[in-house]
Amino acid sequence: MVTAVYPGSFDPIHNGHVDIATRAANVFERLIVAVYAQPQKKVLFTAAERTEMVRRSLCDLENVTAIHYNCTTVELVHTQNAQVIVRGLRMASDFDLEYQMALTNKALASDIETFCLFTNLHCAFLSSTTVKEIVIAGGDVSSMVPAHVQRALEEKCR
Ligand code: ADP
């Protein structure tokens, strides 16, 4: 059984993340969506809030669970008895960072493979930062995030 970990900040989860998680869940027997509790970048939602939003967004997928973590991603992969890290690629500008991260993780743990999935065309422009900026400016993100995420964003931002 191959278990994959899909790590990220998910601040908050949006439809691009949902798409990657859904497709990864079709490929791997088990998928753990892992919310990095304290990323370098400033976050809007707490780790518990981000994890709960991930859980609600993916609750229809039986082989998917959501957790948050504080250690390195490779340590998490080992402790979860997983073998694979899943990442999503939107555009060429994502590649350099993902490549560097994949090589770093390989140097830290040679037994773990990184699988990158390409975004769906309709999600290519989506990022958590953009979604937050639209809500702060009073715009409508209903086509970009699940309804409960939109409500949480509006409560937090307005
Ligand atoms: P990070 O992990 O860098 O903090 P995120 O939490 O936003 O960033 O994203 C987690 C993963 O999902 C990353 O691999 C990122 O490239 C990918 N991702 C983000 N937005 C999209 C999208 N619109 N389509 C596909 N993959 C995406």
**CATH code for residues 3-124:** 3.40.50.620
> Model confidence over 81-139: pLDDT tens digits?
999 999 999 988 889 999 999 999 999 999 999 999 999 999 999 999 999 999 999 99
Q: Where are the domains of the chain?
A: 3-124
> Model confidence over 36-89: pLDDT tens digits?
998 888 999 999 999 999 999 999 999 999 999 999 999 999 999 999 999 999
Global confidence as pTM: 0.96
128 contacts 11 by C-beta, under 8 angstroms = yes
Residue 116 in tokens: 């990158």
Q: Which long-range contacts (CB under 8 A, 24 or more apart) does 133-141 make?
A: none
* Residue in the structure block whose two tokens are 């890290």: 85
Residue in 148, 123, 93, 142 with CA at minimum distance from that of residue 19: 123
Q: Which residue's CA is minimally distant from atom 21 of ligand 1?
A: 16
The atom number, within ligand 1, closest to the CA of 15 reads 23
Angle, alpha carbons 126-129-130 (nearest 5°): 50
The atom number, within ligand 1, closest to the CA of 94 reads 16
